[in-house]
Structure 1
Amino acid sequence: MTGPGNSGSRCSTRPPFSNSCPPPSRTEAMQEHEVERHEEAAAAGTVPPAAAWPSAWREALEDVRRTARLRLEPRIQQLFEQAELGLIDLAARTEDEAAQERIFTGMAALLGRRDAWLRLCLEGIDQGFDAFAAAAGDGAVQGTALANGMAAHGVPARNLVTRTVERYRASLHGIRTRLAVMHGGRPIRDEEIPAGPVQLVGLWQRLLAELPLTRRLSMVLYVLYDRHVLRTLTGFYDEYERRLAQAGLLPHLRPGGAAGGEGAPQAAVPPSLDRLQAPELAPSERHALLSTLLARSEAPELPVAVAAPPAVAGAPAPAASEVLSPTGDELFAGEAEEGLQGVVDRVRREGPATAAGTGEAPQAILAAERGALCAALVDAGRPLAGVDAALLGLADRLFDCLCEDATLDPEARGILARLYLPYLQAILDEVSLLAREEHPAHRLLNLLVAAARRWGARQAQEGNLAPLLNEAVQRLRSEERLLPTVFEEVFEGIASRVRELEYRSAAVAQRTLEALEGQRRLEIARHTARAHLARLLEGSRPPSGSEYFFTRIWADAFTLILLREAEGERSNPWQQATRVLKGILWTLEPREADEAAHEDREAVNTLIAAGLRDLSRYGLRDFEGWFDRIRAWQEALAQEPGVPRVASQDLVALLEEDEAESQPREDAEACLPGEAGARIGVLQPGALVEITREEGTRRRCLLHVDPAGGGYQFADVLGTRAEAFRPAALAAALEAGRVRILSRDGRLPAFLDHALVRLHGEGAGKEVLQEGEDAG
């Protein structure tokens, strides 16, 4: 008689039930358990205190604290040296002795507190980290001495904070979102970031507030602090974000690894505002292109004698510069009762306001805008000067580009077409805004187009993007005086709302993608469990009627072990389940009915009962009932050896049928279609595509998982739906036009850069210099 194991002695006939297995490694399992426990508490609204953070998080924050101290200490030492030289130079250039005395007094006070302030600076950095950790279980970080004085200190400190945050906004966005995970998903404000710009400027502000300094001296010292400390922190904030990411602080997706030890796919971080678009041109190139376009806009010198044609729905919009031919005489501008700017301003505020959602074509909306302007100019008898005609023609072509932009949905183009008159007036006032990236009107138009490209006005109505675009348009059309400050205010309002939309959509996408990733892990676990079970059942012949027990019940048990245990096939439950099943199969093998065999079977049954009890949390809940059935099968085989049995091939076939039902069908064509296969090969995490579904709806989606993981997982830009494509299926969808790639890395060219390049290429009669991303 032999058992499932070694042959020979009686002891060797027993299955390998051993309690001497080496304990599993606890490092990864404990770390994953800590992270899951923190996420569960955050989902329940009870954020654990910092003491309950996973150890990797605490270590990462401590590493960043040490790095901040090491990076800032030498720079502060250098700052004092440069401050001394700068104040001496300032005093040398000042002829007033009283002013010189004030400079030297301030310098002496500053240098006298050098060591004390350096110590306070390092302590202040520690305060920021301590305050952030202390607030983990209580809510928002309470105002520290670093940030409390910012509001009261005035314009210089606030301006310095604004410029520093803008300088490092990409890294700070990543830091904020990762720190938010530590606080259960609560948004982190700039003043709460440990060692962030607000806190660092607050440190300098505390020192200057204690010194007898004039306003001029304070401004000089703020400039020196910016130059020698704040502008040198690029590498620090990049390392700050990288260290948090290494600790597992991935706010948008934390997918589990594939079974069998394969590396987990990486999550794509949703882009911040600066990552929504990619500037194509340097400032000098923008100015050169703009000058060329204006030089080409010289029109023939004809008197105004043509009335404005009526706008026809669906017809191409006639350019205002074509309807109104200029005289070329600059003197007419002074003789007219109302200048071109005045006419545009009046039509902008009093003209028709086309509401969103009417289904009107973008070109028809633009034609109505131009028709109202043309009619007003004809009624006023207003001839166009050469410069005015050039600017009007440039605005016409610019908005033609906007209405023809294939990366925008029709509703977004219709809303943005109503910006024609506000931007025409802005161009007439200051045409250089088209080339100056820092101009508020330039930044606003690029942001509006980028947001509409990313979310789509119609798709993002749930996220308030369409109403947001309308709100911006109405503000620019109704404002009494269209100053640059108005564009700046609208930009700030839009930018803050876009960030909120990003945060909300990222949070929803995280849950949606985790569900999709969980489904993928389930499929892998099922496949691995059934393959392992098929190997165990090979050569066995259990009694008829036990098929469900040996296929479905044990397949589910092995699957749950893979899903719940971090070590998977190396875990104790997996090894124990394997030994229990081997023992059950051994007791059901045909053997002689002697007393020794009966003793062996009872000894094994004792271990089987204990094993089934331990495995009850992995699906074998009715372990007592199943054990009774096992005993009944054993008794039936002992009394009647001829009981019908099931061949192992039949059991494996049942397992394969179950797996075929649960697995998605593979594409019959194993190779990828040529051109489509090459196109999907360049997709990067964050790629933006438009997917047309069977019901005809179109959704803009982002690629959230690295294609190296073997598949492509897309979530729509609002995060509400997700779907997975295998490479062949994605390539087939591209070939059929059901999927359209808008951007392979999630960014599209900045609109104004792209428009200037396109218009320059069209005017030169050559190919467009750079068409940007493929629009399908």
Structure 2
Amino acid sequence: MHNDGNVVPLHKATTDQAIQSPLTRLPVILLQVRDKAVLQLRHGLQALFDNADDILFEMTDRASDSAEQNTYFQAMRDLRLKRKSIERLFFEQIFEAFARLSRYDVTHASATLAPAGGARPDDALERTVAVEAMVNKVLNRDGMALDQLTARLSMLLGKALIEQHNPLGPTLLCEFFLQAGRNLGVGIKVKLIILKLFERYVLSDADRLYGEANRLLMAMGVLPNLQPAPARPLVARAATPVAAETQPPAPDESLPPVFLALQELLFHVRGSLAPILEARAPAQPISSRDLLRLLSYLQQHVPKPAEQDDFDLRNQLEQLLTRVSVKSGKSRVVAVADEDVINLVAMLFESILADRNLPDRLKALVGQLQIPVVKVAVLDKSFFSRSTHPARRLLNEIASAALGWSGGDEVQRDSLYLRIEQVVTRLLNDFDDDPAIFSDLLADFLAFTRDEQRRSDLLEQRTRDAEEGRAKTRLARQHVEQALNQALLGKNLPRGVLTFVQDAWSKVLLLTCLKHGDQSTQWHAAVQTMTQLIWSVQRHAEADARSRLLTLVPGLLKALREGLSGSAFDPFATSEFFSELEGLHVQLFEPESHSAKDAPELVEVLETIVLQSADEGPAQASPVPLPAEDIGMRQVDLLRLGCWVEFQEDQDTTLRCKLAAILDATGHYIFVNRTGMKVLERSRTDLALEFRRGAVRTLDDTLLFDRALESVIGNLRRLERGK
């Protein structure tokens, strides 16, 4: 049997070459973790494929008809043919995921299961539900070991890693397997069977996968004090008494590893939550349950949004502790882990309320959520490491929905403001100690925002279509103006012909340009007809001018009539013009001396022709272009469709809007508000000038909580280095 232990040759010709440079920047110990994990996963995949044939064959025996039997036989054949390809793609993605850790950024990374191309909505839903169930089983069964591995990888990388971005976490492993098998030509029923096999033969050994990785990292000194635990704790254990010492107390191994890592950073900010009285006896910590009662009392007295500036949770809690201590005759304090939660949440909200991307009018509302968030984090300290935690997601969804909110004088009539206010009120009034309320509120809020988003997307698409049509018309008008000016400027023409070309034939040219484009044969034919018309009403000295005119006129008249019929020109005016044109042509065949007395009024075209439009007016002059290296131009180039920006309209007024379209025809940037209505249009140069003078800035649409957590961790690390 071939040697399965060496996984490097499997990727020698592909993966290693593609990611050679990033891999060299990873610590050697991380490469060892990767290779050991890949070895185990290879054995699991081999077991999966070895047993898939037997499982599918058994199902053919139980099939109700020949069509169902054929389905399973085809699936067996497809799986055999694509087995090697699936294995190769699966491990390539694992190698690439480890390589990406060297440049990992939690604020920009994402890990979402990619939908299979062409999958029906019902099939995608079934697959998503199945995958979520598989992931949750691993988290419930082996979550503690996975948290420890994630914490150790975070420490090794010097960056806060989360489970969804851990290359060995169930989220990414399921995604890699789905992506590797996306070309399997089987229906959803068979795909679910194969997913179940992946759970049975690969994910079922996740405890061994994480245990081996943890032991390897622990042996190399990465968070060696984290001891393996048999199960993931669902509720944080009551905190232990505070020790009056200068060194951090021994870590509580029952707490989530990421929170334990944060506690090491929080050591230097402890000690502020103590009763204001002389210490007569050793301080006794209150239980987490008693702390929740104190917080619930404060929750009922949270000041209104307008008075939030004067509210300090830690100060309020300190006063309550003093009253409790005086009443009991004992010095009561908050336990270490719970104090760390309070300090961490307080710093998170300081960062959130200082975030320029959150509208000022909504900051006071969001600030009222501080106590409910403290309570849910006291109940479940995995809140800080689980990006899918309902309370954390609710904060992020509120911030995301509010990103494009500009506010106004009538906020009490704004649907988004009212919905956020309802969420805050419900939490303040109803949240006691059951975190399920966050899941309910999250579901309601997501339903509201999705409904708003559907309406906004519809209006935005209409806006985009209208603007693209308007831009095409504007560009076509410019082509028509250019053609008219090239043909007419400097010419002496009968007034009736000049009027006809400007008022009637310009419309023919415009419609032709819009329908066929300025490079089409139809456009060139329409321009040529105009040129021939102008030539036909002028006297020429050439000897063959009359014979050329005789040859030209029949085709010219035919082209003119066909063009006018397509533009719905007034039939009476058309008849009148052709009568005038016939007279002009007749005069050209008479001697110049005989026709002088009947010569038409000639007009010399001296001014540039600019066509007017009822809805747009004359085209605006283009600003002087800026060099590509200009700082404003570079900022414009960084804009992407769908990003939000804030324009400073005057000293007191800002406008938040989203880039909905960059028009190909004109290069203009179209911005819409939260409802999808157009609010601004800028040329590339004008936008660059506004960036350069600071009148516009790009809003950060990454997750608010993650930004705040990253900022707090950075501040704590700087504080630790300064001690």
Structure 1 residue 374: Cα displacement: 5.4
Amino acid in the other structure paired with 2:333:
L
Cα distance in 1 between the residues matched to 2:629 and 2:128: 55
Are residues 676 and 707 of structure 1, via their aligned partners in 2, closer, same or farther at CA, if it must alter by over 3 Å?
farther
Are residues 577 and 300 of structure 1, via their aligned partners in 2, closer, same or farther at CA, if it must alter by over 3 Å?
closer
1:523 aligns with 2:481: no
Cα distance in 2 between the residues matched to 1:671 and 1:595: 53
Please give the secondary structure, in 1, of the residue aligned with 2:646: strand
Structure 1 residue 420: Cα displacement: 1.0
Cα distance in 2 between the residues matched to 1:553 and 1:327: 100
1:679 aligns with 2:635: yes
Structure 1 residue 426: Cα displacement: 1.2
- Counterpart position of 1:144: none
Q: In percent, how many aligned pairs have the same letter? A: 19
Structure 1 residue 438: Cα displacement: 2.9
Cα distance in 1 between the residues matched to 2:177 and 2:432: 40
- Counterpart position of 1:724: 681
Of 523, 527, 551, 1:578 maps to 527
Please give the secondary structure, in 2, of the residue aligned with 1:655: coil
Structure 1 residue 408: Cα displacement: 0.7
* Alignment of structure 1 residues 226-237 onto 2, 5 Å: 232-234=177-179
Are residues 340 and 661 of structure 1, via their aligned partners in 2, closer, same or farther at CA, if it must alter by over 3 Å?
closer
- Counterpart position of 1:34: none
Amino acid in the other structure paired with 1:437:
S
Amino acid in the other structure paired with 1:519:
R
Cα distance in 2 between the residues matched to 1:347 and 1:299: 20
- Counterpart position of 2:372: 422
Cα distance in 2 between the residues matched to 1:604 and 1:236: 70
> In 2, are the aligned partners of 1:362 and 1:411 still within 8 Å (CA)?
no
- Counterpart position of 1:761: 714
- Counterpart position of 1:298: 270
Please give the secondary structure, in 2, of the residue aligned with 1:754: helix
* Alignment of structure 1 residues 115-126 onto 2, 5 Å: 116-117=67-68, 119=70
Structure 1 residue 168: Cα displacement: 5.6
Deviations 1:177-208 (A, max 9, x none): xx9xxxxxxxxxx9x63753438999xxxxxx
> In 1, are the aligned partners of 2:341 and 2:377 still within 8 Å (CA)?
yes
> In 2, are the aligned partners of 1:301 and 1:326 still within 8 Å (CA)?
no
Structure 1 residue 433: Cα displacement: 0.8
- Counterpart position of 2:619: 663
Please give the secondary structure, in 2, of the residue aligned with 1:705: strand
Are residues 581 and 665 of structure 1, via their aligned partners in 2, closer, same or farther at CA, if it must alter by over 3 Å?
closer
- Counterpart position of 1:363: 309
Are residues 119 and 687 of structure 1, via their aligned partners in 2, closer, same or farther at CA, if it must alter by over 3 Å?
same
- Counterpart position of 1:351: 301
Structure 1 residue 529: Cα displacement: 1.5
Are residues 641 and 481 of structure 1, via their aligned partners in 2, closer, same or farther at CA, if it must alter by over 3 Å?
same
Are residues 389 and 645 of structure 1, via their aligned partners in 2, closer, same or farther at CA, if it must alter by over 3 Å?
same
Are residues 582 and 680 of structure 1, via their aligned partners in 2, closer, same or farther at CA, if it must alter by over 3 Å?
closer
Deviations 1:68-98 (A, max 9, x none): xxxxxxxxx998963576x8xxxxxxxxxxx
- Counterpart position of 1:698: 654
Q: If the length of structure 2 is used for normalisation, what is the TM-score?
A: 0.60
Amino acid in the other structure paired with 1:196:
A
Of 521, 530, 538, 1:589 maps to 538
- Counterpart position of 2:430: 479
1:408 aligns with 2:408: no
Please give the secondary structure, in 1, of the residue aligned with 2:680: strand
In the alignment, structure 1 segments of 5+ residues that lack a partner are 1-76, 88-105, 125-165, 180-189, 203-225, 241-283, 306-324, 769-776
- Counterpart position of 2:452: 501
Structure 1 residue 693: Cα displacement: 3.2
Deviations 1:344-393 (A, max 9, x none): 12332x324636xxxx27534x44x6676555544444832342433322
> In 2, are the aligned partners of 1:300 and 1:326 still within 8 Å (CA)?
no
Are residues 760 and 678 of structure 1, via their aligned partners in 2, closer, same or farther at CA, if it must alter by over 3 Å?
same
1:608 aligns with 2:608: no
Are residues 112 and 330 of structure 1, via their aligned partners in 2, closer, same or farther at CA, if it must alter by over 3 Å?
farther
Please give the secondary structure, in 2, of the residue aligned with 1:489: helix
Cα distance in 1 between the residues matched to 2:448 and 2:690: 34
1:433 aligns with 2:383: yes
Which deviates further from its counterpart, 494-503 or 607-616? 607-616
> In 2, are the aligned partners of 1:706 and 1:712 still within 8 Å (CA)?
yes
- Counterpart position of 2:691: 734
Amino acid in the other structure paired with 1:295:
F
Amino acid in the other structure paired with 1:385:
V
Please give the secondary structure, in 1, of the residue aligned with 2:403: helix
Please give the secondary structure, in 1, of the residue aligned with 2:633: helix
Amino acid in the other structure paired with 2:124:
G
Cα distance in 1 between the residues matched to 2:629 and 2:411: 33
Deviations 1:581-638 (A, max 9, x none): 2342233122699999599559725751563244333263443233233234445665
> In 1, are the aligned partners of 2:372 and 2:431 still within 8 Å (CA)?
no
Structure 1 residue 454: Cα displacement: 4.4
Cα distance in 2 between the residues matched to 1:386 and 1:654: 82
Cα distance in 2 between the residues matched to 1:200 and 1:438: 15
Cα distance in 1 between the residues matched to 2:183 and 2:450: 20
Cα distance in 2 between the residues matched to 1:695 and 1:123: 69
Structure 1 residue 730: Cα displacement: 1.0
Please give the secondary structure, in 1, of the residue aligned with 2:671: strand
Are residues 741 and 200 of structure 1, via their aligned partners in 2, closer, same or farther at CA, if it must alter by over 3 Å?
closer
Q: Which has the higher contact order (CA 8 A, sep 6+)?
A: 1
Are residues 372 and 617 of structure 1, via their aligned partners in 2, closer, same or farther at CA, if it must alter by over 3 Å?
farther
Cα distance in 2 between the residues matched to 1:481 and 1:488: 14
Cα distance in 2 between the residues matched to 1:635 and 1:167: 79
Cα distance in 1 between the residues matched to 2:268 and 2:521: 74
- Counterpart position of 2:569: 620
- Counterpart position of 2:595: 640
- Counterpart position of 2:38: none
1:82 aligns with 2:51: yes
Structure 1 residue 558: Cα displacement: 0.9
Structure 1 residue 417: Cα displacement: 0.5
Cα distance in 2 between the residues matched to 1:759 and 1:329: 32
Cα distance in 2 between the residues matched to 1:598 and 1:384: 111
Please give the secondary structure, in 2, of the residue aligned with 1:408: coil
* Alignment of structure 1 residues 439-588 onto 2, 5 Å: 439-455=389-405, 464-537=415-488, 540-565=491-516, 567-572=517-522, 574-588=523-537
Deviations 1:628-672 (A, max 9, x none): 33234445665634736657652xx34258699722133357447
Q: How many residues in Structure 1 have an aligned counterpart in Structure 2?
A: 516
Amino acid in the other structure paired with 2:439:
E
> In 2, are the aligned partners of 1:293 and 1:394 still within 8 Å (CA)?
no
Cα distance in 1 between the residues matched to 2:692 and 2:503: 40
Structure 1 residue 405: Cα displacement: 0.9
Amino acid in the other structure paired with 1:294:
L
Deviations 1:74-131 (A, max 9, x none): xxx998963576x8xxxxxxxxxxxxxxxxxx9956654397536458999xxxxxxx
- Counterpart position of 1:385: 334
Q: If the length of structure 1 is used for normalisation, what is the TM-score?
A: 0.56
Structure 1 residue 726: Cα displacement: 2.0
> In 2, are the aligned partners of 1:691 and 1:698 still within 8 Å (CA)?
yes
Structure 1 residue 169: Cα displacement: 5.9
Deviations 1:541-560 (A, max 9, x none): 32245433223432232112
Please give the secondary structure, in 1, of the residue aligned with 2:419: helix
Please give the secondary structure, in 1, of the residue aligned with 2:661: coil
- Counterpart position of 2:141: none
Amino acid in the other structure paired with 2:394:
L
